[in-house]
């Protein structure tokens, strides 16, 4: 299967033919948001320029800022924590589960403080986090914002992932299940929150709302129109990106199934006594943005990778460095946000606080799950089996 079909090309071409004139606006952003609501079983969806802007906008809409704390996992892209820092709040790192590699709920509960305003669990690699279980243990004042950038198409407790969170963020970056090169979506069941997110992410325009992504021409041209009733960022998705993702949503079932089928074949056909596959909770399904395995040691990882490189160019990625080990965090070069950090947040930025993540991160291999043909997948499986056992 090709990632981009004739449908995406035709939708994008239709936008290009408008010459980007607002008078010929085709409304792909609104169409995308409606289709995405159906896809993830939520009433409100707001399309933005990327999956970091989505989280930042949500946190800002919630009023989270200086002096507040947001609990995050260290095993993920640093953008999750960057979104917290952009508000002036403090990211507080909780450890991960040794089998699922997801945020550990007991560790989250240990990190709670009077300053905790939200938790951002990351459904890493396509594996859905259980927000239903977490919500039952959290104070009602603590908001759950799921980072589902890698988790489109997964399910939990019989619902699409995101159903049990207060809001969920998705990404359309080039490697994700659905893509327009860049883009993101924030979804929620709260109309009030959706209204706030729309305005925060749309330059604070007062006429925007949960279901209104664009101001009509007559209003915007009026000299008496007072545009901005709140500070906002310019995070809106472009119409051409929206058109491409709109087509991808129409193909979502097949695009997600391709990754699930590839992961299933690898798990079933690779003798994995040297690899521990990421565990999925029994009441959930994994959409396998990638298939991730834990090696016995970092030396074993290096050996498998080096051997695999002699048979194929389709090489796995290692896991990101833990966020608090990134130079920006270790050196506190956070564009003055370091001035706002709470002591509770600073105390968690060390190896002793997240020992499971420290142990696991150097031993993870992330295998590709999107193959355009069964032959290319078969070739990779053969190469991996040889590499593991030679």
Summarised one tens digit per residue, pLDDT across range 139-176 is 999 999 999 999 999 999 999 999 999 999 999 999 99
Quick one: average pLDDT of 25-51? 97
Express each pLDDT in 254-306 by its tens digit. Answer: 999 999 999 999 999 997 788 999 999 889 999 999 999 999 999 999 999 99
Interval 210-230: pLDDT, tens:
999 988 888 888 999 999 999
Q: How many CB atoms lie within 10 A of CB 249?
A: 22
- At 351 the pLDDT is 67
Q: How far is the C-alpha of 154 from the C-alpha of 126, rounded, in Å?
A: 7
72, 80 contact by CB (below 8 A) = yes
Spatial distance between the Cα atoms of 356 and 66, rounded to a whole number of angstroms: 29
The H-or-E segment that residue 379 falls in is helix 374-389
Reading the block at residue 178, the tokens are 């659905």
**Rounded Cα gap, residues 183 and 169, in angstroms:** 11
DSSP states of 19-41: TT-GGG---HHHHHHHHHHHHHT
| pTM assigned to the model | 0.96
Question: pLDDT by residue (tens digit) across 348-368?
Answer: 676 678 999 999 999 999 999
Cβ neighbour number for residue 327 with a 10 Å cutoff? 9
CA terminus-to-terminus distance, the chain: 32
Question: How far does CA 105 lie from the centroid of its chain?
Answer: 19
Cross-strand bridge partners of residue 275: 295
Closest CA to 249 of 54, 31, 43, 41: 31
Domains defined along the chain, listed by start: 6-251 (3.40.640.10)
pLDDT band at 377 (very low <50, low <70, confident <90, very high): very high
DSSP 163: T
DSSP run (H or E) holding 82? helix 79-86
Average of pLDDT values for 26-42? 96
Q: What b/e string do you get for 279-293 counting C-beta neighbours within 10 Å, with b at 16 or more?
A: ebbeebbbbbbbbbb
> Cα–Cα distance between 181 and 174 in angstroms, integer?
4
List the one residue out of 149, 100, 140 whose CA is nearest residue 120: 149
Q: Which two tokens stand for residue 336?
A: 């003055």
Please give the biggest Cα pair distance in the chain: 75
Tens digits of per-residue pLDDT, 301-360?
Answer: 999 999 999 999 999 999 999 999 999 999 999 999 999 998 877 766 766 789 999 999
So what's the pLDDT on residue 24? 83
**Phi and psi for 5 in degrees, rounded to 5?**
-110, -175
Would you state the structure tokens that stand for residue 190, as one six-digit string? Answer: 């709260």
């Amino acid at each position: 299967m090709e990632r981009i079909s004739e449908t995406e090309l035709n939708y994008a071409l239709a936008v290009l033919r408008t010459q980007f004139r607002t008078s010929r606006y085709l409304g792909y952003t609104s169409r995308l948001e409606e289709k995405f609501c159906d896809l993830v079983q939520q009433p409100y969806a707001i399309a933005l320029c990327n999956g970091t802007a989505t989280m930042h906008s949500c946190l800002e809409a919630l009023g989270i800022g200086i002096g507040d704390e947001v609990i995050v996992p260290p095993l993920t892209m640093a953008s999750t924590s960057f979104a917290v820092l952009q508000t002036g709040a403090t990211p507080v790192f909780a450890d991960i589960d040794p089998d699922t590699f997801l945020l550990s709920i007991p560790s989250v509960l240990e990190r709670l403080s009077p300053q905790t305003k939200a938790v951002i669990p990351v459904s890493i690699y396509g594996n859905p986090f259980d927000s239903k279980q977490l919500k039952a243990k959290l104070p009602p004042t603590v908001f759950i914002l799921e980072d589902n950038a890698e988790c489109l198409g997964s399910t939990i407790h019989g619902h699409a992932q995101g159903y049990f969170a207060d809001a969920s963020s998705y990404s359309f970056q080039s490697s994700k299940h659905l893509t327009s090169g860049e883009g993101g979506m924030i979804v929620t069941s709260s109309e009030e929150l959706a209204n706030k997110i729309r305005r925060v992410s749309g330059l604070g325009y007062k006429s925007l709302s949960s279901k209104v992504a664009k101001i009509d021409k007559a209003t915007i041209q009026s000299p008496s129109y007072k545009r901005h009733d709140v500070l906002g960022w310019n995070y809106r998705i472009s119409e051409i990106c929206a058109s491409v993702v709109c087509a991808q949503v129409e193909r979502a079932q097949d695009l997600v199934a391709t990754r699930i089928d590839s992961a299933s074949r690898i798990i079933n056909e690779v003798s994995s006594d040297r690899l521990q596959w990421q565990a999925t909770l029994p009441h959930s399904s994994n959409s396998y943005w990638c298939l991730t395995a834990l090696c016995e040691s970092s030396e074993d990882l290096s050996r498998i990778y080096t051997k695999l490189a002699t048979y194929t160019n389709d090489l796995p990625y290692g896991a990101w460095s833990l966020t608090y080990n990134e130079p920006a965090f270790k050196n506190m070069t956070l564009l003055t946000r370091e001035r706002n950090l709470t002591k509770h947040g600073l105390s968690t930025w060390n190896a002793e606080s997240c020992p499971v993540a420290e142990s696991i991160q150097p031993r993870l291999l992330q295998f590709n799950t999107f193959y355009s043909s069964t032959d290319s997948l078969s070739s990779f499986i053969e190469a991996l089996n040889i590499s593991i056992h030679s």
